[in-house]
């Protein structure tokens, strides 16, 4: 008899986006003429950079020749890409990360989800609240979360991030073994300064905590005192694993490519106290369960770092960040309290007094035909907040903001 992993049964149905879709569908059926502007999506909308398309074409042609054909590639990623990543993302910024500390993958969702494979079941896990749900759900699947009680998992530690603490989580007051940090943050769009990140790294070193740092949005950073990588902070190479993605940086949400940095110096303990390199375990995990990212996709990712690719990516990022700027200005003009949107493509707004996240969702949908994401969907501390994304079309974004400023359709 096959037994199921009962931890999966503890997970509530993924309610947030299906409930949004349901409410929009009902409204649309009642108002077929409505011009609904969707600002809830976390997906990019611009086409891929030309340099990427050209690299894809070349790689496809190569695969059709006897000499150029490639079968299984290295599980860790091709050397040409690992090398290019090290040069462009780390070496050029004075960060000492080596090629064999880079693991190319099909994206940060898989890696942030799979990293738990190499961690013991009894770790106490901390997450910021609100949070990218993958960190929580994958720990539920692994049996590390306990039971769901009033929106919180009993054995996880929640670190509230609200306007009261400037969206900077306080250090945990109880014992924690692993903490997920994501900066720039999804959903709040806020960041940690170098000084604030140093507090976390120092605390992790002192208390023997592993930081799982998600830098999926680092490319959107515009301010100087916001680190692009946790390894900009001294000592982080001894306590942090970093996740990166080409998804939002270069429009790869459909192509799928990311990478994880596991420095050799990062270790965790066996029950007997002996320390083990996590690089070795992650390498073993990937070699056993993952057969590498497609060659053509890795060539496409490499092209992101060509001069042409860099210029095209810059243009793409500035398109989205111009949307964010327009949104922030309009929302503030309309009297809303808005956070994020400076170093990230997300704006996190306070719902008006008296409105829960979902009530505000309904108000925006029915009065202005704008769809966003209720903050409570990202965790209990998201109640009373609302997320809008800057990934939409420029004209539609402007139109949505005009509606918000007018307060009518």
Binding residues (CB under 6 A) for ligand PLP: these are 42, 107-109, 112, 132, 182, 186, 214, 216, 245, 247, 253, 258
Nearer to ligand PLP, 75 or 106 (CB): 106
Nearer to ligand PLP, 137 or 214 (CB): 214
In sequence order, which residues have a C-beta less than 8 Å from that of residue 122 and are 6 or more positions away? 144
Residue nearest to ligand PLP (CB): 107
Q: Where are the alpha helices (DSSP H) in 100-187?
A: 108-114, 133-141
Instruction: Please name every residue paired with 402 in a beta bridge, in sequence order, or none if there are none.
Output: none
Nearer to ligand PLP, 182 or 401 (CB): 182
Instruction: Please name every residue paired with 37 in a beta bridge, in sequence order, or none if there are none.
Output: 370
Nearer to ligand PLP, 55 or 216 (CB): 216
Q: Nearest approach, Cβ of 6 to ligand PLP (angstroms)?
A: 27
Contact, 160 vs 152, CB < 8 A? no
Q: H or E segment at 389? A: strand 385-389
Q: H or E segment at 128? A: strand 125-129
Residue with tokens 């001894």: 238
C-alpha–C-alpha distance, residues 121 and 143, integer Å: 7
Nearer to ligand PLP, 237 or 242 (CB): 242
Nearer to ligand PLP, 109 or 328 (CB): 109
C-alpha–C-alpha distance, residues 405 and 368, integer Å: 10
C-alpha–C-alpha distance, residues 211 and 230, integer Å: 9
C-alpha–C-alpha distance, residues 322 and 340, integer Å: 13
Nearer to ligand PLP, 75 or 242 (CB): 242
C-alpha–C-alpha distance, residues 305 and 68, integer Å: 22
Q: Nearest approach, Cβ of 301 to ligand PLP (angstroms)?
A: 11
| DSSP codes, 161-177 | --GGGTT-PPPPSS--S
Secondary structure of residue 339 in the 3-state scheme: strand
Q: Nearest approach, Cβ of 185 to ligand PLP (angstroms)?
A: 8
């Amino acid at each position: 008899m096959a037994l199921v992993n009962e931890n999966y049964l503890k997970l509530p149905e993924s309610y947030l986006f299906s409930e949004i879709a349901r409410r929009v569908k009902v409204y649309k059926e009642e108002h077929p003429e409505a011009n609904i502007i969707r600002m809830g999506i976390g997906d990019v909308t611009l086409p891929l950079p030309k340099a990427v398309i050209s690299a894809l074409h070349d790689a496809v042609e190569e695969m059709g020749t006897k000499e150029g054909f490639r079968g299984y590639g290295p599980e860790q990623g091709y050397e040409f890409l690992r090398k290019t990543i090290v040069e462009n993302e780390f070496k050029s910024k004075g960060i000492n990360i080596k090629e064999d500390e880079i693991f190319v993958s099909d994206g940060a969702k898989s890696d942030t989800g799979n990293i738990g494979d190499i961690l013991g079941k009894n770790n106490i896990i901390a997450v910021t609240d609100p949070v990218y749900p993958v960190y929580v759900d994958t720990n539920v699947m692994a049996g590390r979360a306990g039971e769901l009680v009033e929106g919180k998992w009993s054995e996880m530690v929640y670190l509230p991030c609200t306007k009261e603490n400037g969206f900077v989580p306080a250090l945990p007051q109880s014992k924690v073994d692993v903490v997920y940090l994501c900066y720039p943050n999804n959903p709040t769009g806020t960041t940690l300064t170098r000084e604030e990140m140093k507090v976390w790294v120092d605390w992790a070193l002192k208390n023997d905590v592993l930081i799982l740092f998600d830098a999926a949005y680092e490319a959107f950073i515009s301010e100087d005192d916001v680190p692009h990588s946790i390894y900009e902070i001294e000592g982080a190479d001894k306590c942090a694993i970093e996740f990166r993605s080409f998804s939002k940086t270069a429009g790869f949400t459909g192509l799928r490519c990311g990478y994880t940095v596991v420095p050799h110096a990062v270790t965790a303990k066996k029950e007997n106290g002996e320390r083990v390199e996590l690089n070795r375990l992650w390498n073993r995990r990937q070699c056993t369960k993952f057969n590498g990212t497609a060659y053509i996709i890795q060539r496409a990712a490499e092209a992101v770092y060509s001069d042409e690719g860099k210029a095209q990516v810059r243009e793409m990022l500035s398109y989205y960040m111009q949307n964010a700027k327009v949104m922030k200005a309009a929302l503030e003009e309309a009297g809303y309290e808005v956070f994020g949107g400076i170093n990230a493509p997300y704006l996190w707004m306070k719902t008006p007094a008296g409105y829960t996240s979902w009530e505000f969702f309904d108000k925006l949908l029915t009065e202005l035909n704008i769809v966003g994401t209720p903050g409570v969907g990202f965790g209990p501390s998201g109640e009373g907040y609302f997320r809008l994304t800057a990934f939409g079309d420029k004209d539609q974004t402007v139109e949505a903001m005009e509606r918000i400023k007018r307060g009518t359709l």
